[in-house]
Chains A and B, each alone.
Chain A
Amino acid sequence: DVKVTQSSRYLVKRTGEKVFLECVQDMDHENMFWYRQDPGLGLRLIYFSYDVKMKEKGDIPEGYSVSREKKERFSLILESASTNQTSMYLCASSFDRAGGNEQFFGPGTRLTVL
């Protein structure tokens, strides 16, 4: 079974803290994604990566950065957490193929910034 794991299910941080969210997949997928999910807004793409050390901005990259040093691991970094970054964060991965790229999602990290 494809497995996408995220480092924490719940996280509470203070405003201004640096926050790291980790995601690991075990299927040798080329693509990895970070989304945030807020009620009524669906899934919004923050960043994605199609190869090691490669990254592209999604729809809402402001206030976030990412790191992909190894193929299986994709980290989301909040340089200075703010209360409006309180949200559910979902990581996903997929193969990179023209025939269709089913995304496999991790369980999510619910981040609260106080």
Chain B
Amino acid sequence: AQSVAQPEDQVNVAEGNPLTVKCTYSVSGNPYLFWYVQYPNRGLQFLLKYITGDNLVKGSYGFEAEFNKSQTSFHLKKPSALVSDSALYFCAVRESPGTYKYIFGTGTRLKVLA
């Protein structure tokens, strides 16, 4: 069955340090992968997507993600974390080719410590 896993409920990182938020997926066909960020009581904001092309995708606010087909992963990264990056991060994948349905992970809360 198609699925998305975000194995960490929370990630803590010191300001200025690199951060990684993990995501693995299981879908049939070529995956469409996304990362979204959610601030308290707000809707989700798009960060970046992988559809095809380079495995390293650059997105908003200095975030990037690496698509790894062999490990079925799409980890979100940033070289230097900011306190303002503290938020809830969601990974999402299209359920199957041509569908309108996407599967979202349960979210990872990122806390950047000053």
Whether both chains belong to one complex is answered with: no
